[in-house]
Amino acid sequence: MKLPRKLHIKSYGCQMNVYDAQRMVDTLGPHGFVDTASPDEADLVILNTCHIREKASEKVYSELGRLRVMKAEAARQGRRMNIAVAGCVAQAEGSEIIHRAPVVDVVVGPQSYHHLPELLARAEKDGHALETEFPAEDKFAFLPPPKPDVIRSRGISSFVTIQEGCDKFCTFCVVPYTRGAEVSRPVAKIVDDVKRLADHGVREITLIGQNVNAYHGEGLDGRTWPLGTLLQHLAGIPGIIRLRYSTSHPCDVDETLIEAHRDIPAVMPFVHLPVQSGSDRILAAMNRKHTTGDYRRAIDRFRAVGQHIAFSSDFIVGFPGETEEDFRATLALVTQIGYAGAYSFKYSPRPGTPAAEMREIVSAEEMDERLARLQELIDSQQSAFNKASIGTIVDVLFERAARNPGQIVGRTAYLQPAHVMAPEAIIGQVLPVRIESLERYSLLGELAAPLPTLAAAPGTQPVINPSDTRMGA
Ligand code: SAM
Ligand code: SF4
């Protein structure tokens, strides 16, 4: 019998890459590949790359340097190690990758990884294989669904891609070039995916897309459904307890989404809504298509239906032309909104984007200094948000055994990790937890319902209603 071939995937960047990596495993599984955690014993190593900032893409080349040594060692042992570069660096740099790192056998863009088995066969025959076209067919139609035991091994929370690409063309961003035009998957396909996941133990779904709230897929009635209508339908699938979505654009917050937050308890009250800057002048230069006023109004619409809704965001500091005054406007916006957390980045010029041609560069020292000030403010808001949980009872969806023996870890509605001492039987259930203390970013507490109640509630559907005793930031 042929031995299984070993596959190691290293993923960089966003949640979409995490999801894509799982689908690559699902694609290669039927071709005899099994996952390994050690790249040095792998027959195929895939770097699933990110091009969003320069640092992210450069990491790929240093990793390829390490893989070159491993590949040579494998050859000495009489073994062929294939190396594939997938994801957005593959899309953006194409054959340049093979010139710069001839150790690479396959280069495959994010829309073509369903062709990985053929590309590998071609590389073994011809030396190299490259595919970075945007194929006419929908890759999702060709991806085999994950097997039940694979779904179970991935835990009770899962990503599902519902939308890919972006038509917004922010001047700093490579996504419209690397992921292509915005495309929404039909509702029927998403429902099939979610039902299959729910049937095999998944309880929380995060719908993902580069611009997820621009979703406009073909609905079950043949009409175009927006994200809010999709959420409403998915909430009715037996077994699904929690729904999340990421990443949203402020211009695409429509009434159906607001209503979903108002009407559907499964839709979690935590919204990631990137704004990038608090200066209208910079937002215009970024081609964000919204002002700070539009952004505040979007936040107010969410808060009008649920004061407990909390927000996170993305910020870029040091965009070309950003003055101290612009930057202070960002700090003022953060202070005004009050976030539960946020990501902040130094501006990184990306080849081929309009902002890369802009000349009013902010110095590296100024960027460092601004990033530190912004992060200090965001950290203080996040700490205050987390501390506000102490002494309250919050709902936690339990995910897995924690590192400490006897402890189980789960997440609150706001994605805060929460630890309790409890039996593993609680995994997959939402239970109320009395929060007693905070350790860095983790909440520690105890179950607020006696265990016999748990035993009386077999299965995975929660019996406890959301007990939002905590307020948003
Ligand atoms: N579609 C989402 C939106 O519009 O907010 C964001 C997608 S992008 C993958 C994630 C984040 O990376 C962005 O929100 C932005 O803050 C950051 N980012 C994108 N391009 C960047 C660049 N050239 N330099 C620094 N940060 C960047
Ligand atoms: Fe990039 Fe998001 Fe702007 Fe699209 S909306 S170009 S993904 S930052």
41-61 pLDDT, tens digit per residue, is 999 999 999 999 988 878 899
Q: Return the percentage of the chain with pLDDT > 90, whole number.
A: 84
Q: Record the pTM.
A: 0.91
Instruction: Give the E-state strand segments of 29-156 in sequence order.
Output: 33-35, 44-49, 82-86, 106-108, 129-131
**CA of 179, closest atom in ligand 2:** 7
User: Across 52-56, 144-148, 223-227, which has the greatest mean pLDDT?
Assistant: 223-227
User: Phi first, then psi: what are they for 435, rounded to 5°?
Assistant: -85, 125
Answer yes or no: is the C-beta of 175 below 6 A from any ligand 2 atom: yes
Average pLDDT on 287-294 reads 98
Ligand 2: which atom is nearest the Cα of residue 288?
3
Query: Which ligand 1 atom sits closest to the C-alpha of 211?
Result: 1
C-alpha separations of 254 from 269, 301, 342 in Å: 16, 10, 23
Distance 320 CA to ligand 1 centre (A): 15
The backbone region for 317, taken as left when phi is positive above 0, alpha when psi lies in -120 to 50, beta otherwise, is: beta
- Nearest CA to 100 among 110, 109, 111, 89? 89
* Structure tokens belonging to residue 124: 């073994």
Going by pLDDT thresholds of 50, 70 and 90, the confidence category of residue 464 is very low
Instruction: Please work out whether the CB of residue 166 comes within 6 Å of at least one atom of ligand 2.
Output: yes
Cβ(176) – ligand 2 distance below 6 Å:
yes
Separation of CA 166 and ligand 2 centre (Å)? 6
Rounded-to-integer distance, Cα 58 and Cα 50, Å: 9
Q: pLDDT tens digits, residue range 361-412?
A: 999 999 999 999 999 999 999 999 999 999 999 999 999 999 999 999 999 9
> Higher-confidence residue: 382 or 111?
382
Q: Does 450 score more than 80 pLDDT? A: no
Give the closest residue (by CA) to ligand 2 atom 5. 168
Question: What radius of gyration, in Å, describes the C-alpha atoms of the chain?
Answer: 23
Write phi, then psi, for 8 (nearest 5 degrees): -125, 125
